[in-house]
Amino acid sequence: MKILFVIPEVNRAEGYTKEDISYIGFPSLTAATIAGLTPKDVDFEAIDEIVDPLKESDFKRYTDTDVVAISLNMTYKANRATEIAKHFRETGKKVIWGGVHVTSVYDFHRERFEKEIAPFADAVVLEEAELVWPVLIGDLKSGNLKKIYRSLRPEAKEIPSARRDVLNTEPFLVQSSIQATRGCPLNCEFCAVTSFNGPVFRIRDVSSVTAEIKGMLTNSAAKNDGWIDRYKKSLIAFVDDNVAFDKNYFAVLCLELEKIKDEFPAFRWGGQCTLNTIEKTVVLNGKTTRLVDLMKRSGCLTMFIGIESVSRESLKSVGKNFNQPDKFAEQIRKFHDAGISIIAGMIVGFEEDGERVFENIYEFLTKNKVELSLINVLTPLPGTALYRRYEKEGILIDYNWEHYDGRHAVYRPKRMSPERLEKSFFELWNALYGSDVSIAKRLIYPASVWKIMKNPSQAAQIFSRFLINKRYGQIAERIMKSRQNILV
Ligand code: B12
Ligand code: SF4
């Protein structure tokens, strides 16, 4: 039996391209995880459309494939997923769907599930796949495939070692990803994590995580790559939503990562955490130790942090009060002092946001020298409490999933029109990334110049951040061009 696992990507100006991800991306672990759960006697091939988009003529090419598994995590890819499913079913393949969006739509928008997914699916896997995928494979083999598979949430020890050989990771800036934990119980109203992964935080055994990392580093060290490839392969992205949530686990993880860094000096890593991680301490050998110091020692290069807003009211409106704007400047400075750069997740369009929000965010990011920021329009994703609230309030105006990508206003904000929100969002994006001067204001300043003088290798890092910023500028320009109708 042969399975083709497909991660869809939209084929338009707003999807990420292969070139984009060579500046900004890291591979998803989904295909590699499902491959790790698949019995060895089953052939498994994976395609991520970001890297290898499927053309119309490709669908007939997979003559030796029996089953197509479609991973639909990101809502904005839903229409493309349907197209792929239709094409493959026309060629007689069995099509199985799974992922965050599929589960959310089944659980919270059943009528849409029946219309948009059920007619194009031979089977659907809800929630996490660890406990049911092997059962499904058995049913496929015996010709007893059921329509719906859902299991209890797996314990972390059920998460298999990822089979990264099934992925084409070469085009990504960071080629290796790993997962140590699942979930985040903080339950911010707009976030899909708590509803999908549940209110518990599950942690993998640190030794199995570090064994996987060492395996990756040993494999790449064995190859005869040039220095740029060797550098790229020594970077590892944690896909965990909040890797530092359990501070004691995280401290142990950092200590083990430090040992890996001793063995592989080029090893560096990045992940996601909350800003208040900077205040967390643990007691090690009777001594109070800051997590950030352990992160620094273990080779942490950068963290994605959901700062979301500089307005206390906006943060409160979505239950993210643990982010405290009056502390932001100091918290960011402390990360910087530890040599850890920040990718700030920022959101515009909260109900408390007025016209000044765009200017405030620009000033905040520039003043605090935030190296990079991913700005999104607030999006009520299916399955979230925010979606349910907005639906009840009757302010949803756009039901096309393709627009649930953080770049469209799919609801009517209270204090500005949806058109104004989108236009100002792109203007902010362009202001931050569209000019070298604006980029330089965040990257080149007395303290960063001093760092380069002390350690010239820092220059390469600042240069690479500059290129990443430029790429974001190009992405904004591409999207703005394709949406000239609304942006004039
Ligand atoms: C890697 C990643 C990316 C990469 C994508 C790389 C790629 N090639 O796809 C990058 C950085 C580019 C990215 C971008 C975005 N991302 Co992203 N991303 C992730 C992340 C961090 C990790 C995915 C992963 O590897 N998970 C680990 C695996 C093991 O878990 P899993 O994918 O959930 O798979 C399990 C189950 O879901 C299930 N399953 C999943 N698929 C399938 C399929 C089958 C057939 C079966 C049986 C089972 C199954 O089984 C697996 C094992 O249990 C997730 C968060 C997360 N922790 O999952 C967000 C996540 C997928 N992203 C998300 C979003 C919103 C985005 C953005 C749209 C954000 C934005 N607005 O900027 C952008 C896209 C921008 C654009 N327009 O292009 C959301 C999606 C929510 C939604 N409903 O839309 C997530 C869930 C984060 C979140 N909680 O908000 N992302
Ligand atoms: S802290 Fe981050 S991952 Fe956790 S619920 Fe809030 S937004 Fe989601």
| pLDDT tens readout for residues 69-111 | 999 999 999 999 999 999 999 999 999 999 999 999 999 999 9
Question: Torsions phi, psi of 101, nearest 5?
Answer: -65, -40
| Residue 383, pLDDT score | 95
pLDDT band at 25, cuts 50/70/90? confident
- Burial profile 297-326: b = 16 or more Cβ within 10 angstroms, e = fewer: bbbbbbbbbbbbbbbeebbebbebeebebe
Instruction: Kindly give, in sequence order, each residue whose CB lies less than 8 Å from that of residue 61, ignoring residues fewer than 6 positions away.
Output: none
| 75 touches 401 (CB < 8 A) | yes
Q: Give the separation between CA 402 and CA 123, rounded to whole angstroms.
A: 23
Q: Residue 125 forms beta bridges with which residues?
A: 98, 149
Assess whether pLDDT exceeds 90 at residue 125.
yes
Q: 105 C-alpha to center of ligand 1: Å? A: 15
- The strands making up 268-273's β-sheet, listed across from edge to edge, are 176-178, 235-238, 268-273, 300-308, 341-348, 372-377
Assess whether pLDDT exceeds 80 at residue 3.
yes
Please give the share of the chain, as a percent, with pLDDT higher than 70.
99
Query: What number does the ligand 2 atom closest to the CA of 308 have?
Result: 7
Residues 328-337 pLDDT 10s: 999 999 999 9
Q: Is the CB of 192 under 6 A from ligand 1?
A: yes
Nearest CA to ligand 1 atom 35: 128
Residues 138-188 pLDDT 10s: 999 999 999 999 988 999 999 999 999 998 999 998 999 999 999 999 999
Going from the N-terminus, what domains does the chain have, and what CATH number goes with each? Answer: 2-156 (3.40.50.280), 174-298 (3.30.750.210), 304-311+327-378+413-488 (3.30.750)
Q: 345 C-alpha to center of ligand 2: Å? A: 11
pLDDT band at 40, cuts 50/70/90? very high
Assess whether pLDDT exceeds 60 at residue 446.
yes
Q: 308 C-alpha to center of ligand 2: Å? A: 10
| Residue 487, pLDDT score | 57
| Residue 486, pLDDT score | 63
Q: How many CB atoms lie within 10 A of CB 383?
A: 22
Q: Are strands 123-126 and 148-150 parallel, antiparallel or unpaired?
A: parallel
Q: Give the separation between CA 160 and CA 29, rounded to whole angstroms.
A: 11
Residues with CB under 6 A from ligand 2: 184, 186-188, 191, 193-194, 241-242, 274, 306
Query: What number does the ligand 1 atom closest to the CA of 383 have?
Result: 83
Q: 265 C-alpha to center of ligand 2: Å? A: 32
| Residue 338, pLDDT score | 95
Residues 198-227 pLDDT 10s: 899 999 999 999 999 999 999 887 777 777
| Residue 460, pLDDT score | 86
Assess whether pLDDT exceeds 70 at residue 488.
no
Q: 423 C-alpha to center of ligand 1: Å? A: 27
Query: What number does the ligand 2 atom closest to the CA of 187 have?
Result: 5
Q: Is the CB of 28 under 6 A from ligand 1?
A: yes
Residues 255-307 pLDDT 10s: 999 999 999 999 999 999 999 999 999 999 999 999 999 999 999 999 999 99
| 438 touches 432 (CB < 8 A) | yes
pTM over 0.75: yes
Name residue, tokens 């997590």: 291
| 174 touches 237 (CB < 8 A) | yes
Q: 389 C-alpha to center of ligand 2: Å? A: 18
